[in-house]
Amino acid sequence: MNQDEARVIVVDDAVDVAEAMAMALEADGYKVWVAHDGNEALALVAEHEPHCVLFDIDMPGLDGSELSLRLREAHGDDLILIAVTGWSGKDSRVAEAFARVDHYLRKPVDPAVLRLSLIHISE
């Protein structure tokens, strides 16, 4: 699959952060949808069947920890999960989410590091 076929959902309640990550991924050729909370992300996953979900941990309502749990329960290892947070792995929600994800990135996300995390979905 090439990058033009790789589908990614970006989830962050900070609209500017989500849009910036989406624009960087779209510039690299990925098909991207943006959600601003966990429930919206679940709906987008059901609708678009992405290859990867890139999500913030600290969101109101359905946070990234619960989102990662639901995605793993529903999709197993068929989805690549990438957690993005400014929080420490010592926080229990972050630690729980980190145990379920394929990669985790610290905010602010370096676009080069993000590209490396996604490279294998377009192979």
9 near 37, Cβ under 8 Å?
Answer: no
Bridge partners (DSSP) of residue 81 are: 53
Q: DSSP letter for 52, please.
A: E
Q: For each of the chain's 123 residues, which pLDDT tens digit applies?
A: 555 589 999 999 999 999 999 999 999 999 999 999 999 999 999 999 999 999 998 898 899 989 999 999 999 999 999 998 876 556 666 677 778 889 888 888 888 888 888 876 755
Assigned token pair, 6: 């790789």
